């Protein structure tokens, strides 16, 4: 994989940092184990992995693709990194993303763009475009991402890879740089459903250091994926989300989606249409709740504790407040600033009830929609993204058009339910299409089975 990285990186640019020495050392340590020790490790032992640069790695620079963290070397590992190390999975490097995971194209990285391996003139999606592109280009067999509103699944759709957002609390967030804490979730990126399942079993399960971690063992997702590979879905009830198809979805995306649904039926699944009436308001609620949490989480980048510090010019009073202002002005990009301002406004005393309070109520209605839907069906499906990969610059001038790309992925984050995207063939433009499964909370295995059957 280090060789592939060397040949593919100049055109793909999936990585912010390649940790070749660390990877080689870990691979050698794995090779040196006795057969008995190797047999006691998870199946993925020895398989290398790329890590979204939103997850902290001890001794390896971690930036969240922001100038404000440039040069920061974490003194500790995220829980997921500890677990990968315990499983003897070598770390290939840190992958590119939209700054602080805010975006849908990786164009908001402070450092460089990542190119979609399917068409280098197009975006790989975002925010985890680097992890998805690295896996799509065979630079890494596996990667980790973070998903707050679709940042694992939408890049999966746009690059023809598998991307999973586990149940909220199913994978520890300790050491994941916080974007919007009530929505953030770490999850797998891979080329097959079974690979993601095996990876979820390595990284998942309870962690005392994350207060929102579910105090249960990781779900049996690999067994479900293996069961799915047999291709028999008799007895499974699948719900087509009425609000997430048709108008606004590219015809080629809708066509591949419809064909995949037909395949599910062929394998014995019963398919019905289900309505989640409040999804209409999901994007609106997300773009109030998410920036509110962003504005609060990003307050810690104050020039004192991490990374960048910019002192005011000499003619400006040399106060801590001014230092903070100059640091944040220089260190944050435009999109991050936009969200900090939006969130600060939504949380301000006079507007709190009107904006944040209303958005939280909408969130509850969406959670209830999902509960009602799962009384009727086992698993829900929709296209992952309304479009295939778009061209660089196409949506950067108009933040709203960028935000709209997440229409199908955001609801699962608001409800905390598990969801995944798998490749569903190519659209008329020759670019990959993603098919999304959504399962009930803490029932991740329910989506792994049909996903493995369909891929």
Reply yes or no: is the peptide bond before residue 375 cis, omega within 30 of 0: no
Catalytic position from the list 17, 52, 94, 395: 52
Cα–Cα distance measured from residue 258 to residue 265, given in angstroms and rounded to the nearest whole number:
11
Q: State which residue, 91 or 402, has the beta carbon closest to ligand GLN.
A: 402
Per CB under 6 A, the segment of 76-84, 149-157, 321-329, 364-372 that binds ligand GLN is 149-157
User: DSSP 3-state assignment of 273?
Assistant: strand
The Cα-based distances of 122 to 106, 119, 134, 147 in angstroms read 11, 6, 15, 21
Of 183, 403, 370, nearest to 289 by C-alpha is: 183
Among 93, 129, 149, 204, binds ligand GLN (CB under 6 A): 149
Q: Which is nearer to ligand GLN, 161 or 260 (CB)?
A: 161
Select the residue interacting with ligand GLN from 62, 66, 148, 159 (CB under 6 A): 148
> What size, in residues, is the chain?
455
- The DSSP symbol for 441 reads T
**Sheet (strand 142-146) strand order:** 15-18, 91-95, 49-52, 142-146, 186-190, 162-165, 419-426, 432-438, 379-383, 237-241, 270-274
Distance of CA 235 to the CA centre of its chain: 31
User: Out of 77, 82, 99, 147, which residue is the one contacting ligand GLN (CB under 6 A)?
Assistant: 147
From CA 34, how far away is CA 31, in angstroms rounded? 8
Q: Which of 104, 127, 172, 292 is catalytic?
A: 127
Catalytic residue check, 94: no
**Packing angle of the helix pair 2-12, 129-136 (nearest 10 deg):** 120
The CA R_g of the chain, rounded to the nearest whole Å, is 21
Q: Has 127 been annotated as catalytic?
A: yes
Nearest approach in angstroms of CB 211 to ligand GLN is 21
Residue 151 appears among annotated catalytic residues? yes
CA separation for the pair 94, 47 (Å, rounded): 16
Task: Count the site residues for ligand GLN by CB under 6 A.
Answer: 15
In the complex, least distance from residue 298 CB atom to ligand GLN, rounded to whole angstroms: 13
Q: Which residue number, 92 or 414, has a Cβ lying nearer to ligand GLN?
A: 414
Nearer to ligand GLN, 107 or 139 (CB): 107
**Residues pairing with 250 in the sheet:** none
Among 102, 167, 427, 441, binds ligand GLN (CB under 6 A): 102
For 56-68, b/e burial (b = at least 16 CB within 10 A) is bbeebbbbbbbbb
- 406 belongs to the binding site for ligand GLN (CB under 6 A): yes
Residue from 49, 91, 101, 261 touching ligand GLN (CB under 6 A): that is: 101
Dihedral angle over CA of 185, 442, 171, 199, nearest 10: -110
Q: What share of the chain is helix, strand, coil (3-state, %, to 5)?
A: 40, 15, 45
List 66, 95, 96, 104, residue binding ligand GLN (CB under 6 A)? 104
Calpha distance 392→390 (Å, rounded): 7
CB of 434 to ligand GLN, least distance (A): 14
Nearer to ligand GLN, 93 or 149 (CB): 149
Q: Which residue stretch of 97-105, 249-257, 367-375, 438-446 sits at the interface with ligand GLN (rule: CB under 6 A)?
A: 97-105
Per-residue contact track with ligand GLN, 287 to 326, x per CB under 6 A?
---x------------------------------------
Region binding ligand GLN by CB under 6 A among candidate stretches 40-48, 83-91, 143-151, 324-332: 143-151
Residue ranges in 14-53 that form contacts with ligand GLN under rule CB under 6 A: none
Instruction: Please state the closest distance from residue 203 (CB atom) to ligand GLN, in A.
Output: 17
Q: What residues are annotated to the active site?
A: 52, 127, 151
Contact positions vs ligand GLN (CB under 6 A): 101-104, 126-127, 146-151, 179, 290, 406
């Amino acid at each position: 994989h280090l060789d592939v990285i060397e040949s593919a990186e100049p055109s793909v640019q999936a990585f912010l940092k390649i940790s070749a020495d660390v990877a080689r050392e870990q691979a050698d340590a794995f090779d040196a184990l006795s057969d008995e020790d190797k047999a006691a490790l998870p199946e993925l032992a020895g398989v290398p992995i790329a890590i979204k640069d939103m997850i902290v790695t001890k001794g390896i620079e971690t930036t969240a693709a922001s100038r404000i963290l440039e040069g920061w070397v974490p003194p500790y590992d995220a829980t997921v990194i500890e677990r990968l190390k315990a499983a003897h999975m070598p770390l290939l490097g840190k992958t590119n993303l939209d700054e602080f995971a805010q975006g849908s194209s990786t164009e908001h990285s402070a450092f460089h763009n990542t190119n979609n391996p399917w068409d280098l003139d197009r975006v790989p999606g975002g925010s985890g475009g680097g992890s998805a592109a690295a896996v799509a280009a065979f630079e890494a067999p596996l990667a980790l991402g973070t998903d707050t509103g679709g940042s694992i699944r939408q890049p999966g759709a746009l690059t023809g890879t598998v991307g999973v957002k586990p149940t909220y609390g199913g994978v520890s967030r300790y050491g994941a740089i916080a974007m919007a804490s009530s929505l953030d979730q770490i999850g797998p990126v891979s080329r097959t459903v079974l690979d993601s399942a095996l990876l979820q079993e390595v990284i998942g399960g309870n962690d005392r250091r994350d207060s929102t971690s579910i105090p249960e063992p990781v779900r049996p997702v690999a067994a479900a994926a293996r069961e799915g590979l047999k291709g028999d879905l008799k007895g499974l009830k699948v719900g087509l989300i009425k609000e997430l198809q048709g108008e606004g979805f590219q015809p080629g995306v809708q066509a591949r989606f419809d064909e995949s649904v037909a395949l599910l039926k062929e394998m014995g699944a019963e398919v019905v249409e289900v309505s989640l009436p409040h999804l209409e308001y999901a994007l609106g609620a997300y773009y109030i709740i998410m920036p509110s949490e962003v504005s609060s989480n990003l307050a810690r980048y104050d020039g004192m504790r991490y990374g960048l510090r910019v002192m005011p010019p000499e003619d400006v009073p040399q106060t801590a407040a001014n230092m903070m202002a100059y640091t944040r002005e220089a260190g944050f990009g435009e999109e991050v600033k936009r969200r900090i301002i939006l969130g600060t406004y939504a949380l301000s005393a006079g507007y709190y009830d009107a904006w944040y309070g209303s958005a939280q109520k909408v969130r509850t209605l969406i959670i209830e929609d999902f509960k009602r839907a799962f009384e009727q069906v086992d698993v829900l499906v929709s296209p992952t993204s309304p479009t295939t990969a778009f061209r660089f610059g196409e949506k950067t001038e108009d933040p709203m058009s960028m935000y709209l790309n997440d229409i199908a992925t955001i609801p699962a984050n608001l409800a905390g339910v598990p969801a995944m995207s798998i490749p569903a063939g190519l659209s008329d433009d020759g670019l990959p299409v993603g098919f999304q499964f959504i399962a009930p909370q803490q029932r991740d295995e329910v989506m792994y089975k049909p996903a493995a059957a369909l891929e």
